A = this chain, B = another copy of it.
Amino acid sequence: MDQNKIPQATAKRLPLYYRFLNNLHHQGKLRVSSKELSEAVKVDSATIRRDFSYFGALGKKGYGYNVEYLLGFFRKTLDQDELTEVAIIGTGNLGTAFLHYNFMKNNNTKIMMAFDANPEKVGKDIGGVPIYHIDELEEKINGVQVAILTVPASVAEGITNRLVDVGISGILNFTPARITVPDSVRVHHIDLAVELQALVYFLKHYPLNTEE
């Protein structure tokens, strides 16, 4: 593939830059400097310039970056014109929250369908997205590349195996289970309980400057 020399840390920041550039564009701004961007997204300006430089010379010295050009560039780089189909597995508290949310706003992803084991949920649709029974997973999921996993941890591994078997490419795993997948599948874990506990740990053990 084209640019796999881009550091992972950089890749993770790209969507952030993209969203902010979109905002600027809507505000009618024509140019932006790494310093302004830095203040807005809270990333050091040298890091931003370095990040951009992996894609070539996108700016002009003494001027900054042209918002429209940069936005267009990132749109291509982030494949914003290509749609990625997503499915939600488990329409409980979290799954339902995602179904109600419009990820499409600045985004090249679309939630196409959801699955659940609870017969009361199956057959309904939430925010225009149909909910199928999990037994129909193999039958319905064609074309979906990414699964958002919001089922109880106890069934995460079993469902993951089925997702792998139907050829899913990526899983965004919100369960506490650390699922095992072959190398052909990419998993990102978002572990909300861990995030909360880590924040608490930092509060208690990493003294911050006190001045209000």
Tell me the chain A residues, 64-106 only, with Cβ under 8 Å from chain B.
Answer: 78-79, 82, 84, 86, 93-94, 96-98, 100-101, 103, 105-106
Chain B residues within 8 Å of A203, by CB: 84, 145-146, 169-170, 186
Q: Given A93-B100, A184-B212, A200-B84, A194–B109 Cβ distance below 8 Å?
A: no
- Interface residue A57 (Cβ < 8 Å from any Cβ of B): no
Q: Is A33 an interface residue (CB 8 A)?
A: no
A199 contacts B186, C-beta separation under 8 Å: yes
Contacts of A181 in B (CB 8 A): 211
Question: How many copies altogether?
Answer: 2
Query: In residues 84-143 of chain A, which contact B (Cβ within 8 Å)?
Result: 84, 86, 93-94, 96-98, 100-101, 103, 105-109
Q: Does A201 contact B (CB under 8 A)?
A: yes
Q: Knowing A93-B101, A97-B94, say if A172 contacts B196 (CB, 8 Å).
A: yes
- Please, how many angstroms separate the alpha-carbon atoms of A178 and B93 in the complex? 25
Contacting residues of chain A (154-197) with chain B, CB-CB under 8 angstroms: 164, 167, 169-170, 172, 176, 178, 181-197
**Residues B188 and A199 in contact, CB atoms below 8 Å apart:** yes
Please name all residues of chain B whose beta carbon is closer than 8 Å to the beta carbon of A186 when the two chains form the complex. 199, 202-203, 206, 208, 211-212
B198 in contact with A211 (CB, 8 Å)? no
By the criterion of a CB under 8 Å from any partner CB, how many residues of chain A are at the interface? 76
Contacts of A1-17 to chain B: CB distance below 8 A: 1-4, 6, 8, 11-12, 14-16
Query: With contacts A178-B42, A200-B108 known, is A15 near B212, CB below 8 A?
Result: no
B191 touches A192 (CB 8 A): no
Measured CA separation A212–B191 after assembly (Å): 13
Check if A189 sits within 8 Å of B212, measured CB to CB: yes
Residues of A near any B CB (own CB < 8 A)? 1-4, 6, 8, 11-12, 14-16, 18-19, 40-42, 78-79, 82, 84, 86, 93-94, 96-98, 100-101, 103, 105-109, 145-146, 148, 164, 167, 169-170, 172, 176, 178, 181-212
What are 8 A-B pairs with beta-carbon distances under 8 A?
A8-B202, A14-B201, A15-B194, A79-B201, A86-B196, A98-B192, A170-B200, A187-B212
